[in-house]
């Protein structure tokens, strides 16, 4: 598995797209800092970008990589190798190279700007951690989609739909549900609703750091326990881990059964 | 100032003419404060030496100066009120008063001033108290440099640090109050000046006005209270250069205004409060040159607020800048700096060319269904906020800052 991971990783490192991705984040970081002159505000803007863009790029890139390297995969399948190790290797190769572009691309301008001396370092590291989590989750989901669809166009379609669903539509439906049932106690429902969507979950995680004073404005014991203590942070992280595990497990499961 | 000078001269003259000193210490001929007061003549000075004096219900019924040397302890042994002043021109300086009794029927205070004028209470330290300094129907007093440290846990069985009741022209400066119910409480007290005080970690309010008019509070710090300052049913109050910090919680405000008219709120800083200012039924208030930084809601307008003006304030990184619960707006927003402003300034005059709408649709939704706060900063919310910005349906459409500043307002 490690060998395949290495090959995928080096392959991607040589590819143009990793550099484009890296350059994009680098540019974003530099421009944000240049325009804002303020670390904490830049962190808020970055949060918006990361929560929307990282999943999009993760899904598209994952699907793209899978279809592009299909011939190589078939070649590998002819070798005496375990199937999970082939697919997990490829998956980790993609996810890690994307995460690296993200971390380096955003990290470099912020470090040069004096991140280590500022109070925003914790917010920023939290941002990067959620970014990495989102990459892991959405690349895995992309691999799932690609494994289930032989047709490339369909695969891409589903990938974009998945992103659209989780990034925008889900929140719309969620909001409508909350407004519709506003006469009922909703704090548990709203927390569960957040847990079910990795994008919402990462957003909440960052909100816990940035907007804690607003979140405490709502009167609800469950909310208060969740947001007022470290409990929320711990639960959010564990659910994120579950969100990585589930699609990865399905990659393993699916790859074992799939007929090539 | 004139009053002060006259007052000082009177005391000085009095002292020169026939004042004498009485010393109190455990080995002196006079060993208790009560005894000393009984022996003293008008305008005498009583010097209390270092030591512990277990006394309560000390009544000061003649003009006296009581000075503590090296903070002598007056221990009330939780039996009730400790010092009661019922005469004009009394000065208390440098005492350490502890253990005031708690009662559910009577407001026991460490030091109470009743129907007296020209009192001075300074450099006093109060600990383990019910009420701290209680001024009752007394005018022209000064309360300087005192330190009040309570241990209040629940509102119903705790008292206030400094309480004024029907007392006018009182100056309260450089006091430090913590862990009581209300740090400083004014009821029916006009023309008072409250300056440079620090009030923190109080159960209810850092500073509380009720039916008090024409007061000034300036350069105070209110941190981590149930709510920073509550101003209720009062007129013409000036609030200048105060700091309101970290008042967090479901009913926590930096400042709570209820039925306030003609006030001025200038140069204050509201930082990291759940709600910076909560306004209800308040009219003709000028908000100028204030900083709102990292609050949940910078300003929450509840209703019946007319003819208020928000001029040249900085709204920096608040989750919500302004929240309204109705579609009617009669308040003016002009030349503020909004960190969320996304417009441009083509003619480079420092004023944005596109008006800014401080009320978001989402703040309206959160008002209706508080749980939706969990969707804060979601992409979907940004989209609906944007569409509301383009054509307002739920938020007041004349609520605009027509001249949003491009750079932070300075003054």
Domains in chain B, start-ordered, CATH in brackets? 1-146+156-174 (2.160.20.10)
B233 within 8 A of B262, measured Cβ to Cβ:
no
Quick check: A216 and B249 CB within 8 A? yes
A168 within 8 A of A200, measured Cβ to Cβ:
no
Quick check: B369 and A186 CB within 8 A? yes
Q: What is the pLDDT of residues A110-161, one digit of tens each?
A: 888 776 777 777 778 888 899 999 999 999 999 999 999 989 999 999 999 9
- Cα(A141)–Cα(A132) distance, integer angstroms: 14
Q: What is the pLDDT of residues A47-72, one digit of tens each?
A: 888 888 899 999 998 999 899 888 88
B342 within 8 A of B320, measured Cβ to Cβ:
no
Residue bearing tokens 């800092």? A33
Name chain A contacts of B342, Cβ cutoff 8 Å. none
Q: How would residue B120 be classed by pLDDT, with cut points 50, 70 and 90? A: very high
Q: In 3D, which of B148, B146, B121, B114 has the Cα closest to residue B132?
A: B148
B245 within 8 A of B268, measured Cβ to Cβ:
no
The total number of structural domains that make up chain A: 1
**B160 in reach of chain A (CB within 8 A):** no
Which domain does A6 fall in, by range? 2-257
A222 within 8 A of A188, measured Cβ to Cβ:
yes
Q: Which two tokens stand for residue B400?
A: 């605009």
Q: How would residue B12 be classed by pLDDT, with cut points 50, 70 and 90? A: low
Q: Where are the alpha helices (DSSP H) in chain A?
A: 2-14, 16-36, 39-68, 70-77, 83-112, 121-148, 152-164, 170-180, 187-195, 198-210, 212-215, 221-228, 231-257
CA B52 to chain centroid, in Å, comes to 33
Name chain B contacts of A215, Cβ cutoff 8 Å. 296, 373-374, 376
Quick check: B383 and A168 CB within 8 A? yes
Q: Which two tokens stand for residue B54?
A: 């277990």
Surface of B (378-397) touching A: CB under 8 A: 378-383
Q: How would residue A218 be classed by pLDDT, with cut points 50, 70 and 90? A: low
Q: Which residue of B has its CA nearest to A47?
A: B377
B227 within 8 A of B248, measured Cβ to Cβ:
no
CA A109 to chain centroid, in Å, comes to 21
Q: What is the pLDDT of residues B22-70, one digit of tens each?
A: 888 888 888 888 989 998 988 899 999 998 999 989 999 999 999 999 9
First-residue to last-residue Cα distance in chain A? 20
Q: How would residue B94 be classed by pLDDT, with cut points 50, 70 and 90? A: very high
Q: What are phi and psi of B200, to 5 degrees?
A: -140, 160
Q: How would residue A80 be classed by pLDDT, with cut points 50, 70 and 90? A: confident
Q: What are phi and psi of B269, to 5 degrees?
A: -120, 125
User: Which of B248, B369, B380 lies at the smallest CB-CB distance from A178?
Assistant: B369
State how far the alpha carbon of B149 is from the alpha carbons of A181, B97, B219, in Å. 47, 11, 21
Name chain B contacts of A218, Cβ cutoff 8 Å. 250, 370-371, 373
Residue B364 has pLDDT above 70, yes or no: yes
Residue bearing tokens 């947001």? A227
Name chain A contacts of B251, Cβ cutoff 8 Å. 219
Q: What is the pLDDT of residues B62-80, one digit of tens each?
A: 999 999 999 999 998 888 8
Residue A203's pLDDT is what?
87
Cβ neighbors of B148 (< 8 A, separation 6 or more) are B125, B126, B129, B132, B133, B161, B162, B175, B176, B177, B178, B180
């Amino acid at each position: 598995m490690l060998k395949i991971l290495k090959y995928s990783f080096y392959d991607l490192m040589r590819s143009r797209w990793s550099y484009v991705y890296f350059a994009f984040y680098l540019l974003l970081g530099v421009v944000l800092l240049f325009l804002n002159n303020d670390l904490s505000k830049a962190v808020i803007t970055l949060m918006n970008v990361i929560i929307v863009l990282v999943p999009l790029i993760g899904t598209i890139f994952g699907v793209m990589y899978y279809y592009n390297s299909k011939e190589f995969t078939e070649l590998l399948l002819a070798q005496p190798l375990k199937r999970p190790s082939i697919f997990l290797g490829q998956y980790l190769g993609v996810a890690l190279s994307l995460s690296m572009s993200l971390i380096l691309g955003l990290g470099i301008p912020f470090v040069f700007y004096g991140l280590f001396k500022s109070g925003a370092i914790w917010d920023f590291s939290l941002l990067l951690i959620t970014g990495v989590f989102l990459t892991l989750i959405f690349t895995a989901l992309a691999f799932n989609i690609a494994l289930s669809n032989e047709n490339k166009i369909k695969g891409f379609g589903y990938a974009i739909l998945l992103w659209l669903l989780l990034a925008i539509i889900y929140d719309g439906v969620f909001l409508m549900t909350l407004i519709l049932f506003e006469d009922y106690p909703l704090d548990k429902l709203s927390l569960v609703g957040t847990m079910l969507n990795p994008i919402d979950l990462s957003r909440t995680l960052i909100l816990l750091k940035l907007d804690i004073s607003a979140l405490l404005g709502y009167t609800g014991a469950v909310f208060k326990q969740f947001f007022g203590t470290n409990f929320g942070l711990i639960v959010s992280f564990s659910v994120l881990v579950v969100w990585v595990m589930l699609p990865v497990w399905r990659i393993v499961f699916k790859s074992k059964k799939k007929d090539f | 100032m004139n009053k002060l000078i006259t007052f000082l001269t009177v005391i000085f003259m009095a002292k020169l003419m026939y004042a004498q000193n009485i010393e109190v210490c455990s080995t002196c001929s006079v060993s208790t404060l009560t005894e000393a007061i009984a022996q003293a003549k008008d305008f005498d000075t009583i010097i209390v030496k270092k030591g512990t004096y277990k006394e309560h219900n000390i009544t000061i019924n003649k003009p006296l100066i009581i000075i503590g040397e090296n903070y002598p302890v007056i221990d009330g042994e939780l039996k009730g009120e400790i010092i009661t002043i019922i005469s004009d021109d009394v000065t208390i300086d440098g005492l350490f008063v502890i253990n005031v009794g708690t009662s559910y029927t009577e407001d026991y205070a460490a030091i109470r001033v009743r129907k007296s004028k020209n009192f001075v209470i300074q450099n006093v330290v109060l600990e383990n108290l019910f009420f701290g300094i209680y001024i009752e129907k007394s005018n022209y007093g000064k309360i300087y440099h005192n330190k009040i440290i309570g241990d209040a846990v629940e509102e119903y069985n705790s008292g206030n640090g400094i309480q004024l009741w029907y007392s006018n022209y009182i100056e309260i400066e450089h006091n430090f109050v913590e862990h009581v119910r209300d740090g400083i409480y004014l009821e029916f007290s006009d023309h008072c000046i409250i300056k440079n005080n620090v009030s923190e970690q109080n159960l209810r309010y850092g500073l509380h006005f009720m039916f008090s008019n024409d007061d000034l509070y300036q350069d105070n710090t209110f941190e981590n209270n149930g709510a920073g300052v509550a101003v209720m049913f009062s007129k013409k109050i000036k609030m200048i250069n105060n700091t309101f910090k970290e008042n967090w919680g479901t009913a926590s405000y930096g400042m709570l205004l209820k039925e306030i008219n003609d006030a001025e709120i200038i140069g204050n800083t509201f930082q990291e409060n759940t709600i910076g200012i909560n306004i209800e039924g308040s009219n003709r208030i000028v908000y100028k040159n204030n900083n709102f930084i990292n609050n949940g809601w910078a300003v929450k307008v509840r209703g019946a607020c007319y003819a208020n003006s928000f001029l040249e304030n900085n709204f920096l990184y608040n989750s919500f800048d302004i929240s309204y619960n109705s579609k009617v707006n009669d308040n003016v927003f002009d030349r503020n700096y909004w960190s969320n402003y996304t417009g441009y300034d083509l003619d480079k005059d420092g004023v944005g060319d596109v008006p800014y709408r401080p009320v978001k649709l989402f703040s309206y939704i959160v008002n209706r269904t508080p749980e939706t706060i969990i969707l804060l900063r979601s992409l979907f919310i940004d989209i609906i906020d944007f569409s509301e910005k383009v054509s307002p349906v739920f938020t007041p459409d004349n609520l605009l800052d027509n001249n949003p500043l491009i750079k932070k307002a300075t003054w």
